[in-house]
Amino acid sequence: MELAKSFSNFVLFSYWRSSCSWRIRIVLNLKKINYKINPINLLKSEQTNEHFAELNPLKKIPALAFEINKDGNNEKILLQESSAICEFLEETFPEVNLLPKDSIDRAHVRAICSHIACNIQPIQNLPVLNRIEELGFKKAEWAKEWISKGLKDLDNMLTNCRGKYCFGDEITLADAFLVPQLYNARRFNVDMNEFVNIIEIEANLKLVEAFILASPENQPDSSL
């Protein structure tokens, strides 16, 4: 708790419909961390402009900026990659735990996060879909196929570990990763009816304020 007090001025570089940015918004909300949104419009390629590229050489979002007080001086920090940011927030703000205490349980939760972040989301993100279209394939069909397969595998993963949420009856990082991916699934007309575990978990998460506030329609750049 004492360490957390030395952090301030959190700014999330985010795009309202970016699933990776959405994960971070959920985690920040769950941990009740005050932050501001700095919108980066991916459709206008604002992530590649000179100002943002100087700040973040990866030219990607999300990115989380903040200050840390060291010996009376404020040092500016920028973190990249949603999984790394989530882990940082979990370690630094432990008052609300999003990973179980048991090491095996933590591994199960991280496996769910990894499946979504590594096996589903990258295959249907914007640069990949644009390249698929350039190669002469139908990007919507591509996204639908791979999201459907990924969610089917995920639904099977959840069979033996779910409760009210992805892992038992306490919200974890897995839930923060799940909800944004389902939004993308519907964008590409994936039939969600076969994913019984996922749909029931999502219905429970839709009632949680932190998830409601993180939704795309509630972001300052949703109408831009």
Residues 6+ apart with CB under 8 A from 13: 21, 38, 40, 52, 55, 56, 61, 62, 63, 64, 65
Q: What is the CATH number of domain 103-211?
A: 1.20.1050.10
Contact 83, 90 (CB under 8 A): no
Q: What residues have CB less than 8 Å from 193, skipping those under 6 apart?
A: 199
Cα-Cα end-to-end distance for the chain: 38
How far apart, in Å, are the Cα atoms of 137 and each of 69, 143, 156, 208?
Answer: 51, 11, 29, 39
Could you report the per-residue pLDDT of 59-95, keeping only the tens digit for each? 999 999 999 998 888 899 999 999 999 999 999 999 9
* H or E stretch covering 67: strand 63-70
Alpha carbon 132 to chain centroid distance?
A: 23
How do residues 158-204 score in pLDDT, each as one tens digit?
999 999 999 999 999 999 999 999 999 999 999 999 999 999 999 99
**What is the number of residues in the chain?**
224
Closest CA to 30 of 177, 200, 171, 180: 171
Residue 221: predicted pLDDT = 95
Question: What 3-state DSSP class applies to 53?
Answer: helix
pTM: 0.93
Residue 126's pLDDT is 79
Strand-pairing partners, residue 65, are 11, 78
Domain edges within the chain: 9-97, 103-211
14-30 pLDDT per residue, tens: 999 999 999 999 999 99
Q: Structurally, what CATH architecture does the domain formed by 9-97 represent?
A: 3-Layer(aba) Sandwich (3.40)
92-112 pLDDT, tens per residue? Answer: 999 999 999 999 999 999 999
Number of Cβ within 10 Å of residue 70's Cβ equals 9
What digits encode the pLDDT tens for the residues 112-156? 999 999 999 988 887 888 898 898 888 889 889 999 999 999 999
Share of the chain above pLDDT 70, in %: 98
